[in-house]
Amino acid sequence: MNKLNEHPLFCFMDSDEIALLERIGKKQHLPVNTPLIQIGERKRDLIILESGTVSVQVEDTEGMFTEVAQTKAMNLIGEMNFIIPTRRTANVVAVTDVELSVFDYSELCELLKSYPMLSNKLFSALNLQLTHKYLAMMSS
Q: Is the dihedral of CA 42, 106, 36, 17 positive or negative?
A: positive
- The rounded radius of gyration (Å) of the Cα atoms in the chain is 15
Can you give the pLDDT of all 140 residues of the chain as single tens digits? 788 888 999 999 999 999 999 999 999 999 999 999 999 999 999 999 999 999 999 988 888 999 988 999 999 998 888 888 888 889 999 999 999 999 999 999 999 999 999 999 999 999 998 888 777 767 76
Question: What global pTM score does this model have?
Answer: 0.87
Can you give the residue ranges of every domain in the chain? 15-135
Q: Write down the pLDDT at residue 140.
A: 65
Tell which CATH classification among 2.60.120.10, 3.10.130.10, 1.10.579.10, 2.30.30.190 matches the domain 15-135.
Answer: 2.60.120.10
Q: Write down the pLDDT at residue 86.
A: 87
Q: In this structure, are residues 96 and 53 in contact, taking their beta carbons and an 8 Å threshold?
A: yes
Instruction: Report how far apart, in Å, the C-alpha atoms of 52 and of each of 26, 33, 48, 102, 118 are.
Output: 17, 12, 11, 15, 28
